[in-house]
Structure 1
Amino acid sequence: MALDIRTFGDPVLKTRAALVETFDESLVRLTQDMLTTMRDSDGVGLAANQVGRLKRVLVASVEDEDYVIINPILTGMSGATERAPEGCLSIPGIQVEVERATSVTVSGMDASGEPLQKEASDILARVLQHEVDHLDGVLILDRTDRASRRAAMREWREHLLAQQS
């Protein structure tokens, strides 16, 4: 079942998500619903707080492979970084330049509570960093320069006004 995506201005997006302690059918259902929501929205990643759940759960889908990581921790990052445009399902229609590590290691658990570790590079590394940021209450607007943030906020206001017309 598709879930409602929270948009910029909703306080849940700026709130740090809590560790998942219970691994049960409701967690599996949440991850399935998040994957459906992400796909229906043409996204490549989604964090639980984007759908109003303050749990450290992320899903991603890159190059036809799905990823579900519970309680993710960035345990390693390359020294190399790349600045590239990023969008966000919670700030539709807005893209800003964000600098990210080009490769990362993420540790966490799968939906059944089994430990996992994922080495990621390129787009998957970017997506995982973006979603972990969400779980920490950090948005792409927090990761860009002041001028880009101001321009994005102008675009966002115009987007909201256009929706009201």
Structure 2
Amino acid sequence: MHFLDIGEVVERTGVPPSTLRYYEEIGLICSVARHGLRRQFDHDVLLKLSLIGMGKAAGFSLPEIAGMFGRDDRPDIPRDQLHDRAKELERQIIELRMLRDVIRHVADCPAPSHLECPSFRKLLKSATNASASRSPRPTIGRTKSTRQR
């Protein structure tokens, strides 16, 4: 069976060797052999690295991603966490769209002052309302030190 040399994995994935060694150290991936001092990997490592990259891009931590691989590399996907993350990403998308619209308007607005522009004020109010509606509300009885934990 032909294994992938660490250099081939780096070339195909763009993941630096130091990251591959770290992922191996924390148990996310494992090498199957060595050729001299160079690690050798099974072809499945490419899929696993894609999944790790996607998990990181979605905002999951490496320990969370490791937990999703489960035992014996059988996926143990916490679907409720995935739904929660998808909702959070949707919220971020909405915020970024609003920010994009405000920036485009500021760039293109013919008004002498943006503060005089009714469209700008409307966009700004919408962005402010959206931001205020998702801010965590302080809970009665909680002290500052307990909120920081």
- Quick check: TM above 0.5? no
Higher RCO structure, 1 or 2 (CA under 8 Å, sep 6+):
1
* Structure whose alpha-carbon radius of gyration is higher: 2
TM-score, normalisation: structure 1: 0.26
TM-score, normalisation: structure 2: 0.28
